[in-house]
Structure 1
């Protein structure tokens, strides 16, 4: 496992990080979910990403239990969670000062820890003044409950505004951004990455395997494999984003053409996809999920790979008709 600094903040993160959304939404049994976290630690993953919203708080509870029962001490791993969306049936949401203070304490309790390494705003709150949100996050850091703060899927102009406001007021600077990014979803390349570089943010990207499509498990004209994300009715709705369905035959036929490129490099499709994402210096870590412990090693093998320029050109030529920029 290779490691990178997360922006200009205090954290050094593993190139591959572990996300808990899949283990909760996918109906993974608690013991199996805990085994996945332990396997991730054993493979050198040190960053674990979750959110208070996932499973109405259950993802935080399971992650907390898994980390507390692992042999590694608390200083050997990093916990990142998020705030904004309602938790379960609760009506309140957003990034007001009161909401941040309340949800932070609840997340800490569910995770069973005294502090978070990274506290992220899950989405931008258009109903709360940005200054109120940033000042509340600064107080959370100064209280010792949070080490660093980040943003998830914020518009680029709001990323810039947040960075400028923290600098102007002397508040805790933003450490990270968490956008979707993969071979098939390249929208952050247009403006988000540049803004993050300009203001010292690192990127922790999610869905680097495009909902599992870039592993090559889905074939055009065929039903999804049993036990896969696409075969799960509670999960396959996420495979359609902004009108783009990641399992259209047209897209899957293009993805199938990546297999010879991976074979020529002696890589798996998973390794190729993760190495492609990590080729960008703006990316500090790529979040993967797992429903079985043995899947972790396959993802970790994507760390530390340098793709030759010729392979990147071949990838672009194959995927150009289906890429979203």
Structure 2
């Protein structure tokens, strides 16, 4: 893919035009130092990327937000960026959920300060708190839109039932609802079932049907399954069992790796490129933007090329077989 040629999409229900792949900044300023973060961000925009994904809780003292704020200030490119961040948790650990008006208002102001901007394009609620009525949450977010502090709101790690309830209330009252849901979504199926009481919601068959039915856009975090397929190929099964990837270790994910390796040998595309390209191709059902996280520009370049990978119907069916059982 030539630099500057990344595909772009309008998120339904918004005026936001975003690149086909978002860059996740969870490691910026911490695992990836300031200089390395700037290099990745520069490389990303050189490829035509404009969609940045961070959160107030990424890194000590919100270092990820601060790093992005410094980069935008130095580059003078804030108006060229679609900026997404997340709130609803206090800095931790422990990461206590806070979706009440006073706490969330403070968090938005803190994020604006860290990011050195006066508005956030897309503000996610990082996790749900089912003790807080959706009416209160939607009213709060619309107040912040009216104040000009956020442009649009999204939910992250929310169950389909609460997402639908919130958007139904917004529609009844003539207010803006959630325009995007950010959930874990990759070719690797997670071992544990979805539980609205946990911090992570992932794309299973029921969630996929919800998005097909409603058309609600998805931003897919952990779109590379946290490097599971690459690590499995490099370390073997013994290495994976004792790693952070244990949540993905299963017979069907081993089969998925075999299929990715087979398609890689036939197509010449790498396994990471194919895994991300699969998420890119979900736009045939609803707008789906993979969020990628990399440790260096070499990894980033490989991942960004996935935006131009073409998967035909047969390849997609081959990868999907058994994924949503």
Taking structure 2 as the reference length, the TM-score comes to 0.85
Q: Is the counterpart of residue 305 in structure 1 residue 275 in structure 2?
A: no
Assess if the C-alpha contact under 8 Å between 1:277 and 1:283 holds in 2. Answer: no
The corresponding residue for 1:40 is 44
The corresponding residue for 1:260 is 262
Q: Is the counterpart of residue 82 in structure 1 residue 86 in structure 2?
A: yes
Select which of 13, 24, 30 maps to 2:34.
30
Q: Which moved more, 1:143-152 or 1:268-277?
A: 268-277
3 and 162 in structure 1: CA distance in 2 versus 1, 3 angstrom threshold: same
Assess if the C-alpha contact under 8 Å between 2:279 and 2:288 holds in 1. Answer: no
206 and 130 in structure 1: CA distance in 2 versus 1, 3 angstrom threshold: same
Select which of 274, 277, 288 maps to 2:276.
274
Select which of 144, 147, 150 maps to 1:140.
144
Question: How many angstroms does 1:261 deviate by?
Answer: 0.9
Unaligned runs of 5+ in 1: 225-229
More helix by share: 2
Cα separation, 2, equivalents of 1:309 and 1:219: 31
Q: Is the counterpart of residue 201 in structure 1 residue 210 in structure 2?
A: no
The corresponding residue for 2:203 is 188
For the aligned residue pairs, the C-alpha RMSD in angstroms reads 2.6
Cα separation, 1, equivalents of 2:268 and 2:137: 47
Superimposed CA distance per residue, residues 99-126 of structure 1 (whole angstroms, 9 cap, x where no aligned partner): 2211000000001011000000111112
Select which of 211, 221, 234 maps to 1:218.
234
Cα separation, 1, equivalents of 2:26 and 2:84: 13
Q: Is the counterpart of residue 149 in structure 1 residue 164 in structure 2?
A: no
Question: What secondary structure does 2:135 align onto?
Answer: helix
Question: What secondary structure does 2:27 align onto?
Answer: helix
Taking structure 1 as the reference length, the TM-score comes to 0.85
* Greater RCO (CA < 8 Å, at least 6 residues apart): 1
> How many residues end up aligned between the 2 structures?
305
Cα separation, 2, equivalents of 1:95 and 1:83: 8
The corresponding residue for 1:113 is 117
Assess if the C-alpha contact under 8 Å between 1:156 and 1:195 holds in 2. Answer: yes
The corresponding residue for 1:7 is 12
Question: How many angstroms does 1:98 deviate by?
Answer: 1.1
Cα separation, 2, equivalents of 1:69 and 1:184: 38
Assess if the C-alpha contact under 8 Å between 2:183 and 2:220 holds in 1. Answer: yes
List aligned pairs for 1:116-127, cutoff 5 A: 116-127=120-131
The corresponding residue for 1:227 is none
Question: How many angstroms does 1:7 deviate by?
Answer: 2.7
The corresponding residue for 2:193 is none
Cα separation, 2, equivalents of 1:211 and 1:267: 19
Q: Is the counterpart of residue 18 in structure 1 residue 18 in structure 2?
A: no
Cα separation, 1, equivalents of 2:98 and 2:309: 39
Select which of 275, 283, 296 maps to 2:300.
296
Question: How many angstroms does 1:23 deviate by?
Answer: 3.4
Question: How many angstroms does 1:301 deviate by?
Answer: 0.6
Question: What secondary structure does 1:272 align onto?
Answer: helix
